[in-house]
């Protein structure tokens, strides 16, 4: 991975994939011949992964734990600034650096 830098709307990350991985991921794209469509597949996967990080009750949480193990859970904490209408803490956030 290279080319990691902030942009006005977020972070731009350049990822180089082996040809076979690209071809396999291309079948998930609306237009498998369009590399930009494959980038959209990666963006969708990244979105689901980040949901697994901040949403403890989401199906994505189990998926992220299957892929990355459970050790990363020590690097998140309940987000006390974002509670439901009934006062429940329902999201996690990254722990601040110690």
Strands, E assignment, the chain? 2-7, 10-14, 76-78, 92-94
- Provide the whole-model pTM: 0.84
pLDDT tens, N- to C-terminus, the chain (98 residues): 556 678 888 888 899 999 999 999 999 998 988 889 999 999 999 999 999 999 999 999 999 999 999 999 999 999 999 999 999 999 999 999 87
How far apart CA 80 and CA 86 sit, in angstroms, is 13
Per-domain residue ranges of the chain: 17-94
């Amino acid at each position: 991975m290279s080319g990691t830098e902030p942009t006005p709307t977020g972070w731009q990350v350049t990822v180089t994939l082996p040809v076979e991985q690209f071809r396999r991921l291309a079948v998930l794209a609306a237009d498998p011949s369009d590399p930009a469509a494959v980038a959209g597949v990666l963006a969708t996967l990244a979105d689901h992964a980040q949901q697994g990080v901040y949403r403890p009750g989401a199906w994505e949480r189990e998926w992220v734990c299957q892929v990355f193990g459970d050790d990363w859970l020590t690097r998140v904490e309940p987000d006390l600034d974002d509670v439901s209408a009934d006062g429940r803490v329902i999201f996690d956030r990254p722990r601040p650096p110690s």
